[in-house]
A and B are shown apart, each in its own frame.
Chain A
Amino acid sequence: MSSTVKIPVPTLNKEISVSTGLFINNEFVPSVDSAEVIQCFNPATEQVIASVVAGSSKDIDVAVAAARLAFKTTWGKNVTGWERSRLMNKLADLIERDKQELAELETLNNGKPVAVARDFDIGDSIQCLRYYAGWADKITGQTIEVDNKSKMAFTRHEPIGVCGQIIPWNYPINMWAWKVAPALAVGCTIVMKPSEITPLTALKLSELVVEAGFPPGVINTVPSLGSVGGAALAAHNDVDKIAFTGSTITGRKIMEAAAKSNLKKVSLELGGKSPQLIFESADLQQAAAWAALGICYNTGQDCTAGSRIYVQDSVYDKFIDVLVSTVKETVIGDGFDNNTGGGPLISKAQFDRVWGYIDAGKAEGAKVVLGGERRNTKGYFVDPTIFTDVDSSMKIVKEEIFGPVLSIGRFKTEEEAVALANNTTYGLGAGLHSTDASQCMRVSGLLEAGTVWVNQYNILSNNVPFGGKKQSGIGRELGSYALEEYTSVKAVHWNIGEKLQWPLSF
């Protein structure tokens, strides 16, 4: 079964149509060997809104073969950077044209507010595509002087080939753009496995891929269970590189599968337990606002969520007051309600998980200063919850919760703060708030995180790299750095004058 489904949007009295097959070779097709489907839910209503074809590992084979053929014939080195740039810019224009409808579809399946989906998620995605479109004809290697009489040496930065890309459900469209853009820019072809929870916008975007004019096989989209399609991609012998964003647990499996199959190149963007440090010289009002953003944005479902905060003793009480009153203003609700600042959690599983942590926090003796109460309504809504009086041994301090749950600790000295912040196997993001410039420099140097924010939090830019240290990941997305993830270097040594004698004389 591959067909178009029309998804009703009740509050807007309209329908959005989505092709529900597997997108391979610019067509929507059924699975070659499976009748499985994936049900997609609206997390605000807990209702099924659509079913899509669930790809099997054989379908992954078909998609990879299509991507390989395209790489050999119509993409890869067969297409100029200029042409890649043109197509990517066209795709960006089409997404911009359809951004309202794409936002509504994102909200239906993910729950985030429509305006946020449209202006932030999709707005950033359009800019991301345009940014990388601009790189497509600027991929350069080096010419290197070895010996002008006998050798010409140079490097070529070649596209790595067929790339498997596995993306999560928290920013479906935005994560799609982050993955697709640099890969396309340098000439790779793609088999994309969107999250089985949120495959709909990836399928809708695939329609635009056709309209933009990409050759068949350049981008393929195979919704599938992670354990099926994702595992198949990671283990596939004809996939040259896999890029994964998701949990650390799954990241390990991907890396293992890559090692056991063809040693494909791996990049991972995994979990985090990112700390923010509030020093006594900080502008407390601002720090509280950034802290609120850090844990409430996207209802805390953000890999860089600022889920641990450490406050210097001298300003602790004051900060807690300001923070609580700031976070209290957050409105969690239905994404189609204009007053909503954040939507529900994505699924029942996540909802139970987050509540498990909240209950654990209470059980381990942390103090609830905001939230911590269940709603008795439909929808996976969790209100922002703040724990104080925490210590490093607590689950809520050590483990990634992925919900609007914040743990707050305290410190006396800068050294103590840095130690608390770095006391984690994660290393994705970190923030510090201080008006002491030397302290800002010192502490940002000491924090073990791939992104450090000073007097800010969670604001990214398409041209600044993003990724984790330690067990938060390997490799970088965004900026020029992402290009390295999708290119592989060939060094060419061209003899222009050396005549060899064998055996060698010494």
Chain B
Amino acid sequence: MPETFKVELDTPAYKGSVSCNTGLFINGKFVDAVEGGTIDVINPSTGKLLTKVAAATSKDVDIAVAAAKKAYKTSWGLKVPGAQRGELLMKLATLLEANIDEFAALECLNVGKPWSESRGFDMKLTLQTLKYYAGWADKVHGHTIETNEQKLAYTRHEPYGVVGQIIPWNYPLTMVSWKIGPALATGNVVVLKPSEITPLTALKFASLVQEAGFPPGASLESNVSPSGATAGTAISMHPDIRKIAFTGSTLTGRKIQEASAKSNLKVVTLELGGKSPNIIFDDADLDQAVKWAAIGIFSNSGQVCTAGSRIYVQEGIYDAFIKAFSEAAAGLNTKTGDPFSEGTIHGPVVSQTQFDRVMSHIDAAKAEGAIPFIGGERHSLTEGFFVKPTIFTNCTPDMKIVQEEVFGPVAAVVKFKTEDEAIEMANDTNYGLACAVFTENVSRAVRVSNALEAGMAWVNCNITTEYNVPFGGYKQSGYGRELGAYAIDTYTQVKAVHINVGLKI
């Protein structure tokens, strides 16, 4: 029987207990992993062990998929009317709402993100997403199509069946909602693998799935072994999983697509990395541009796939921008710390591995001649994985710091002269997730955002995601869309039906 992780907190942000089960959630129950392995879960604010959770292997994935398949055939899928699926999702959202503070606290413990972000952003977006998709469940329409009087032709938008979902560690619970919301609303059953670094809120969420009354097998979650590879690979290769949705690194995304090609050609959607440009023109509102630039690269300690990590500043405004932007970064640096402390708005990166990676990017940037205008080193807090908000200037397009995704609070600033130059530099990347444009000239705003090769464009704002506006990338940032109505298409497949109404041959 799996154990319960429980801790009592007494902090300015949260007072009370925080708990979750540490097993695998399969077929409506928490169970031990078949091969008995465990994963260490670390608190990134302290570097210390929080708890151990069960580590799934391919054997557990097989059990989970079998249960999911059975549920799909008997107690879920199109056997359950949309209105009922919607009701269950709404119930799940309501249960989350009733326990939202505890979930926020658990997220802070596991991810290190400040309470203001966890409670104020992550939890809110999670709730919105769940309720939004609850409302879609009975609104999945196909079309009737006029052909001729002797035929009734129509389409059905049917679920795939068993879908595998692999999510990352930067917004653990929010990513759960983005994935299971549309999948369950449309009638799929889910085998979800949370990140091995941040499994706790997903596990706690599983107990709500149980409480809400979902049929066993409909929504399942399994944890993964420390390498991530075992269960993730098992899911991407599984012959009974009809579709896989992955959010994570481009490197792993390639492996998922390859595995699909080698196994059963399961349908793949990928939401991968980014090196999103933020273009600031001379005629931008400087004060606003600075604030949004900071949000774009320092939110969640820069661990955001849409992070505006390349900042292109037109020469007329460059000096003023750098001065103000570095002041903003310095301000953040003084508010760095434990997520539950009053005033904390900058947290650690999620793990030792990530910390090492970010620091090596910083070192490489320095080596290539970029200037660390501010930051560029570990924070003075020696416990935990804290990196100072960092701004590199004197960057040129060929530098690693401009080309590669850092996934930390590190901005690379490049100066530009003309609009065309900015667009060309911004598009000079294999990524294409997001972009941002700052200008008070509306024609330029539309023109430039039209010209940028990205799945999302923000004008005079940055990384503000809405649950009902689609989210996803161009180029090697991925394909397929989440959020909004578009996610409904992502989780349905089209069957065209031709009914002969009288043609005798």
The proximity string for A residues 433-476 relative to B, scoring 1 for CB distances below 8 Å and 0 otherwise, is 00000100110010000000000000000110000000000000
Q: A462-B83, A494-B442 are in contact. List 18 more A-B contacts (CB 8 A).
A: A130-B86, A130-B87, A131-B83, A134-B134, A134-B138, A134-B139, A135-B139, A137-B132, A137-B468, A138-B136, A438-B502, A441-B499, A441-B501, A441-B502, A445-B501, A480-B139, A480-B141, A496-B443
When distances are taken between beta carbons in the complex, the residues of chain B under 8 Å from A137 are 132, 135, 467-468
Interface residue A148 (Cβ < 8 Å from any Cβ of B):
yes
The distance from the CB of B152 to the nearest CB of chain A, in whole angstroms, is 6
Complex-state Cα separation, A214 to B132, whole angstroms: 20
Q: Is the CB of A135 within 8 A of B135?
A: yes
Interface residue A44 (Cβ < 8 Å from any Cβ of B):
no
Q: Is the CB of A138 within 8 A of B135?
A: yes
Residue on B nearest A148 in the bound complex, by CB: B450
Interface residue A82 (Cβ < 8 Å from any Cβ of B):
yes
Interface residues of B in 74-93 (CB under 8 A from A): 82-83, 86-87, 90
When distances are taken between beta carbons in the complex, the residues of chain B under 8 Å from A442 are 501-502
Interface residue A262 (Cβ < 8 Å from any Cβ of B):
no
Complex-state Cα separation, A496 to B439, whole angstroms: 14
Complex-state Cα separation, A138 to B86, whole angstroms: 15
Interface residue B275 (Cβ < 8 Å from any Cβ of A):
no
From DSSP, what is the main secondary structure of chain B's interface residues?
Answer: helix
Interface residue B143 (Cβ < 8 Å from any Cβ of A):
no
Interface residue A245 (Cβ < 8 Å from any Cβ of B):
no
| A497 and B447 in contact, given A85-B131, A442-B502 (Cβ under 8 angstroms) | yes
Q: Is the CB of B136 within 8 A of A134?
A: yes
Interface centre among A85, A137, A494 (most CB of B within 10 A): A137
Complex-state Cα separation, A480 to B149, whole angstroms: 26
Complex-state Cα separation, A480 to B140, whole angstroms: 11
A positions within 8 Å CB-CB of B = 81-82, 85, 89, 127, 130-131, 133-138, 140, 148, 152, 438, 441-442, 445, 462-463, 480, 494-497
Complex-state Cα separation, A242 to B135, whole angstroms: 27
| A131 and B138 in contact, given A138-B468, A441-B501, A442-B501 (Cβ under 8 angstroms) | yes
Complex-state Cα separation, A495 to B442, whole angstroms: 10
Complex-state Cα separation, A457 to B485, whole angstroms: 33
Residue on A nearest B499 in the bound complex, by CB: A441
Q: Is the CB of A134 within 8 A of B447?
A: no
Q: Is the CB of A445 within 8 A of B149?
A: yes
Q: Is the CB of A494 within 8 A of B468?
A: no
The distance from the CB of B9 to the nearest CB of chain A, in whole angstroms, is 30
The distance from the CB of B88 to the nearest CB of chain A, in whole angstroms, is 13
Interface centre among A140, A438, A462 (most CB of B within 10 A): A438
A-B interface, 8 closest residue pairs, ranked by CB to CB distance from nearest: A134-B135, A441-B501, A496-B443, A496-B446, A463-B138, A438-B502, A152-B446, A137-B468
Q: How many A-B residue pairs have CB under 8 A?
A: 64
Q: Is the CB of A85 within 8 A of B501?
A: no
Residue on B nearest A185 in the bound complex, by CB: B135
Complex-state Cα separation, A469 to B461, whole angstroms: 49
When distances are taken between beta carbons in the complex, the residues of chain B under 8 Å from A133 are 135
Q: Is the CB of B443 within 8 A of A497?
A: yes
Interface residue B430 (Cβ < 8 Å from any Cβ of A):
no
Interface residues of B in 437-466 (CB under 8 A from A): 442-443, 446-447, 450
When distances are taken between beta carbons in the complex, the residues of chain A under 8 Å from B501 are 438, 441-442, 445
The proximity string for B residues 321-363 relative to A, scoring 1 for CB distances below 8 Å and 0 otherwise, is 0000000000000000000000000000000000000000000
| Cross-chain contact of A127 among B83, B131, B139, B443 (Cβ < 8 A) | B83
Interface size class of B (residues with CB under 8 A): 20 to 34
When distances are taken between beta carbons in the complex, the residues of chain A under 8 Å from B149 are 445
Q: Is the CB of A441 within 8 A of B152?
A: yes
When distances are taken between beta carbons in the complex, the residues of chain A under 8 Å from B207 are none
Q: Is the CB of A82 within 8 A of B502?
A: no
5 A-B contacts (beta carbon < 8 Å): A131-B83, A138-B136, A138-B485, A495-B443, A496-B443
The proximity string for B residues 104-138 relative to A, scoring 1 for CB distances below 8 Å and 0 otherwise, is 00000000000000000000000010011011111
Interface residues of B in 133-187 (CB under 8 A from A): 134-139, 141, 149, 152
The distance from the CB of A333 to the nearest CB of chain B, in whole angstroms, is 32
Q: Is the CB of A496 within 8 A of B447?
A: yes
The distance from the CB of B485 to the nearest CB of chain A, in whole angstroms, is 6
When distances are taken between beta carbons in the complex, the residues of chain A under 8 Å from B499 are 441
Residue on B nearest A151 in the bound complex, by CB: B446
When distances are taken between beta carbons in the complex, the residues of chain A under 8 Å from B447 are 496-497
Residue on B nearest A133 in the bound complex, by CB: B135
Complex-state Cα separation, A431 to B500, whole angstroms: 21
The proximity string for B residues 175-217 relative to A, scoring 1 for CB distances below 8 Å and 0 otherwise, is 0000000000000000000000000000000000000000000
Complex-state Cα separation, A421 to B255, whole angstroms: 62
When distances are taken between beta carbons in the complex, the residues of chain B under 8 Å from A138 are 132, 135-136, 139, 468, 485
Q: Is the CB of A494 within 8 A of B139?
A: no
The distance from the CB of B126 to the nearest CB of chain A, in whole angstroms, is 14
Complex-state Cα separation, A152 to B502, whole angstroms: 47
Complex-state Cα separation, A445 to B151, whole angstroms: 11
Q: Is the CB of B446 within 8 A of A134?
A: no
Complex-state Cα separation, A135 to B442, whole angstroms: 31
When distances are taken between beta carbons in the complex, the residues of chain B under 8 Å from A136 are 135
The distance from the CB of A443 to the nearest CB of chain B, in whole angstroms, is 10
Complex-state Cα separation, A104 to B502, whole angstroms: 51
When distances are taken between beta carbons in the complex, the residues of chain B under 8 Å from A130 are 83, 86-87, 90
Q: Is the CB of A463 within 8 A of B82?
A: yes
When distances are taken between beta carbons in the complex, the residues of chain A under 8 Å from B132 are 137-138
Complex-state Cα separation, A58 to B82, whole angstroms: 45
When distances are taken between beta carbons in the complex, the residues of chain A under 8 Å from B128 are 82
Complex-state Cα separation, A494 to B443, whole angstroms: 9
| Cross-chain contact of B139 among A148, A152, A463, A495 (Cβ < 8 A) | A463
The distance from the CB of A77 to the nearest CB of chain B, in whole angstroms, is 16
When distances are taken between beta carbons in the complex, the residues of chain B under 8 Å from A445 are 149, 501
Residue on B nearest A139 in the bound complex, by CB: B468
Complex-state Cα separation, A89 to B90, whole angstroms: 10
When distances are taken between beta carbons in the complex, the residues of chain A under 8 Å from B467 are 137
When distances are taken between beta carbons in the complex, the residues of chain B under 8 Å from A152 are 446
Interface centre among A134, A140, A480 (most CB of B within 10 A): A134
